[in-house]
Structure 1
Amino acid sequence: MTNGTDQMRAVVIDEPGPPSVLQVREVPRPTPAAGQVLIRVKAFGLNRSELHFRRGVGSSGSFPRIPGIEATGVVVAAPGGEFAEGTPVMTMMGGMGRTFDGGYAEYVVVPVGQAIPFHSSLPWAQLGAVPEMLQTAAGSLRVGLEARSGQSLLIRGGTSSVGLTLAILGKLSGLTVYATTRRPEAAELLRSVGVDHVLIDDGNVAAQVRAIEPDGIDGAVELVGVDVMRDTLRAVRTGGTVCFTGMLSDHWTIPEFYPMDWLPNGVRLTAYSGAGSDLSAETLQGFLDAVEAGNAIIPVGRTYRLDDIVQAHEDMEAGRVGGKGVVDLSEEGRRH
């Protein structure tokens, strides 16, 4: 699983199960080969993909495994010379935490092509939230919707970390943003990231959208799941697009899909999942610069220490995070 003589602390899952299967242990620190990079992890984000993997319902992966599909930190070694020691990088996906050991650890080894360099003075607890969240949100807008300035955007599942990031990017891109939440008390959170129209999700969001925009919205990103997607499709204008990106409800498939009944005339349905290579260094740096300039925020919900990983998964499962959950392994994080 790992190799090398030095030890590190990491979260290990021996077999699928509840949050209690997440065990913090001393394990051998991995050693990079040519074409790989060793990263000292400063922070990592928490993702529902890891929750699915932990439960044993992920579409890929094997056990025992150090989970975690993303990490942020600094380069310790790159045998091929692709990165200088100390270079800040983010990494994600490509089999991380599934087919090879992932980011829930003090060190991680990934292919050099999966490491994205950046520079920033932001705290590690914020930077650790960014890679997967930004990749998914930016890709949904760019690839899934081909969104353009002046259009309108509906985010179904707006208080999720990707939903909040979509709202932030949407406003930076000149979109009018609609976002849903099932909890009225979360409305202020959505407004704080620039949402123009907060919709309380009563199962009939399409009617609420069309009360404001009778012809329908230009584009929608579905983050809740197929159980509400039919309603989302009906909120979109003829010629508009719904991008299926997330499954917060854990409803992934449609048992009896009849396209003529599900798809309104002329409404397009796309999907976006993306990969680490889909987040360019330019997009990443541009977002971080916007945050430092005060033109965007990173929607961190809660931060944890490595020893809090069981609690972190319990909070994620219960929907208590309120944004992106981050585990902070930096010196600053250890002081708190």
Structure 2
Amino acid sequence: MRATMRAAVCVRAGGPDVLEIREVPLPVVRKGWSLIRVMAAGLNRSELRTRQGHSPGVRFPRVLGIECVGVVAGSTDPALPEGTTVAAVMGEMGRAFDGGYAEYTLLPDALLMPVRTTLPWPTLAALPETYLTAQGAVDALRIGPGARLVIRGGTSSVGMAAASIARAHGVEVAATTRRPEKAAGLRSAGVGHVVLDDGGPLRLPWPERPSHVLDLVGADTVVDSLRLAGRGGTVCVAGSLSGWLIRDFEPIAMIPSGARLTAFHSDDAKGSAGAAVLQRVVGEVEAGVHQPHVDRVFALDDVVAAHEYMEGNRAAGKVVLQPRLAA
């Protein structure tokens, strides 16, 4: 095996140009950690904020990437023989230790989720963080057939996945976007009503309030989402497109009486906790129940362009990074 590998290293906090392609030592397998040949890695906005310097615990240089899919290239665990297809997500990937923006990555065995699939690598890479988060959020909403769901941040990869999952549950879905040209992508994901978010009051398609709101925008919109749902409604926050903190939040004043505010964090679906759910999602994608939208695939060499694309909010669906590995 080669002694070195290529990786996109974030050398310091800053703009996309702080991501540099470097030849670095190949990680060495050790007890409890397996070497994974990265076949594709989904990009996430949390990596963008880490790159910008908004993750205080992260020290640079660091290989970013909170998720990846690939094959086991070396392990001391007999349950993870070489060649096993695996996915991994969260668990401090790309933060406390190097993540998926590389040809290979060394990951804790506890994070690895073996997967049986015939899906193409970019499609598989679009599933772990996205669909585990979407499924967890839908579950947290306790949503059922006949409900009306508003998804704020609908053209994010999680938003489109949640729309597909909700549609399969018989839920009527409206989703917001700030860009009219993204409406077709939302409808293809199962959104029945596309709502243009122009910064003013949302014009929802129903005379009554929605029973549930999935807020993927986060800090800037949570209070308004609570107002939308009103008494008896449920709001789940599962994204932070607008940042981490809600300023001047006064729960008693801002949460309507009887409304429910909850959240889902994808770290709750890592490793064994998410393995069965991911395998079920993979099977549903293979059966055509869900059609994950991969917006664009970038080569490892184009990681700067990939971050510029993500930071410019140009994607409708998942952006994927795919290393070009040597034979």
Tell me the TM-score range normalised by the shorter chain. Answer: over 0.9
1:97 corresponds to which residue? 94
Match for 2:187: what amino acid? R
- Separation in structure 1 between the aligned mates of residue 85 and residue 57 of structure 2, nearest angstrom: 29
1:236 corresponds to which residue? 229
Tell me the C-alpha RMSD between the 2 structures. Answer: 2.0
* Contact 1:75–1:89 (Cα < 8 Å) also in 2: yes
Q: Identity rate of aligned residues, in percent? A: 45
Once the two structures are TM-superposed, the CA of residue 25 in structure 1 deviates from its matched residue by: 0.8
How many pairs are equivalent? Answer: 325
* Contact 1:177–1:195 (Cα < 8 Å) also in 2: yes
The answer on 1:196 being equivalent to 2:200 is no
Once the two structures are TM-superposed, the CA of residue 279 in structure 1 deviates from its matched residue by: 5.2
The answer on 1:26 being equivalent to 2:23 is yes
Question: Structure 1 length as normaliser, TM-score?
Answer: 0.91
- Separation in structure 1 between the aligned mates of residue 293 and residue 217 of structure 2, nearest angstrom: 18
* Contact 1:203–1:231 (Cα < 8 Å) also in 2: no
1:14 corresponds to which residue? 11
- Separation in structure 2 between the aligned mates of residue 60 and residue 243 of structure 1, nearest angstrom: 26
* Contact 1:44–1:70 (Cα < 8 Å) also in 2: yes
Question: Structure 2 length as normaliser, TM-score?
Answer: 0.94
* Contact 1:139–1:278 (Cα < 8 Å) also in 2: no
- Separation in structure 1 between the aligned mates of residue 236 and residue 14 of structure 2, nearest angstrom: 31
1:38 corresponds to which residue? 35
Mean Cα displacement is larger for which, 31-40 or 16-25? 31-40
* Contact 1:155–1:223 (Cα < 8 Å) also in 2: yes
* Contact 1:203–1:228 (Cα < 8 Å) also in 2: no
Alignment counterpart, residue 154 of structure 2, candidates 154, 158, 173:
158
- Separation in structure 1 between the aligned mates of residue 272 and residue 212 of structure 2, nearest angstrom: 21
* Contact 2:300–2:324 (Cα < 8 Å) also in 1: no
Alignment counterpart, residue 280 of structure 2, candidates 278, 281, 286:
286
The answer on 1:217 being equivalent to 2:210 is yes
Q: Which runs of 5+ in 2 are unaligned?
A: none
Secondary structure of the corresponding residue to residue 301 of structure 1: strand
Q: Which runs of 5+ in 1 are unaligned?
A: none
> Structure 1 87/5 Cα, relative in aligned 2: closer, same or farther at 3 Å?
closer
> Structure 1 270/328 Cα, relative in aligned 2: closer, same or farther at 3 Å?
same
* Contact 2:212–2:235 (Cα < 8 Å) also in 1: yes
2:241 corresponds to which residue? 248
Alignment counterpart, residue 265 of structure 2, candidates 261, 267, 273:
273
* Contact 1:205–1:232 (Cα < 8 Å) also in 2: no
* Contact 2:48–2:311 (Cα < 8 Å) also in 1: yes
* Contact 1:88–1:117 (Cα < 8 Å) also in 2: yes
